[in-house]
């Protein structure tokens, strides 16, 4: 049966894939094993594409700059920011964050910013908290 759809499918044989490629062509038998192999340099995966301009990823926080004004807590839609009263600093819970970047806009000293990091899932809950370095 030759109709228009058939011609379209034939055309797609010679075209490049339109969407982004998966990391691997097939599902591996063991996911962590293949990731270890990639780290050791024995296997190769398709690297993720670069993030677009203006991408909102994991929040980074400059603790030294923060003045503890608590404006970010007032605008956070997901209640992802908690206040540490002793230090007069904040703590961002990434597992609750909805990546709206409203806190980075309201911050009067620009101590919060959005990074490009997006692979955030982890078994360790302590990694899901951004509390600044110093």
Partner 1 sequence: MAEENKTYTIPIGPVHVGLKEPITAWLQVDGERIVDVRIRPGAIHRGIEYMARERNPIQVIYLAERICGICSFAHIVSFVRVVEDATGIPVPPRAKYIRTILLELERIHSHILWAGVACYTLGYDSAFNLGMLLREKVMDVLEAMTGNRVNYGVGTIGGVRRDITPKVAKAINEMLDYYNREFSYFYNVVTEDPIVKARMRNVGVLSKENAIRYCAVGPTARASGLRMDLRWSSPYEAYEDLEVEPVVPQDYLGKVHGDVFDRFFVRVMEVYQSLDIVKKCMDGLPDGPIMHESKPAKLLSLLKEAEGVGQSSIEAPRGDDTHAIKLTKGEENITWWKVRAPTYANAMSWPIMFKDQEIADAPLIINSIDPCISCMERMLVVDEKGSSTMTTKEELIKLCRDKTRRLMHR
Q: Which residues bind partner 1 (CB under 8 A)?
A: 3-5, 8-9, 18-19, 51-56, 71, 74-78, 98-102, 105-106, 108
- Pick the closer one to partner 1 by CB: 2 or 40: 2
State in angstroms the smallest separation of the CB of 132 from partner 1. Answer: 22
* Residue 110 β-bridge partners: none
State in angstroms the smallest separation of the CB of 128 from partner 1. Answer: 19
Q: CA 50, CA 47: separation in Å to the nearest integer?
A: 9
**The two structure tokens encoding residue 54:** 């203006």
- Pick the closer one to partner 1 by CB: 31 or 78: 78
3-state secondary structure of 124: coil
């Amino acid at each position: 049966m030759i109709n228009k759809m058939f011609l379209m499918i034939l055309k797609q044989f010679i075209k490049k894939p339109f969407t982004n490629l998966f990391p691997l062509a097939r599902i591996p038998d063991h996911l962590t094993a293949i990731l270890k192999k990639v780290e050791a340099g024995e296997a190769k995966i398709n690297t993720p594409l670069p993030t677009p301009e203006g991408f909102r990823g994991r929040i980074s926080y400059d603790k030294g700059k923060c003045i503890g004004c608590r404006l970010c807590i007032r605008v956070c839609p997901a209640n992802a920011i908690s206040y540490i009263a002793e230090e007069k600093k904040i703590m961002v819970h990434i597992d609750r964050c909805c990546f709206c970047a409203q806190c980075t806009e309201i911050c009067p000293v620009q101590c919060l910013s959005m990074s490009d990091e997006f692979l955030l899932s982890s078994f360790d809950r302590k990694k899901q908290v951004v509390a600044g370095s110093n």
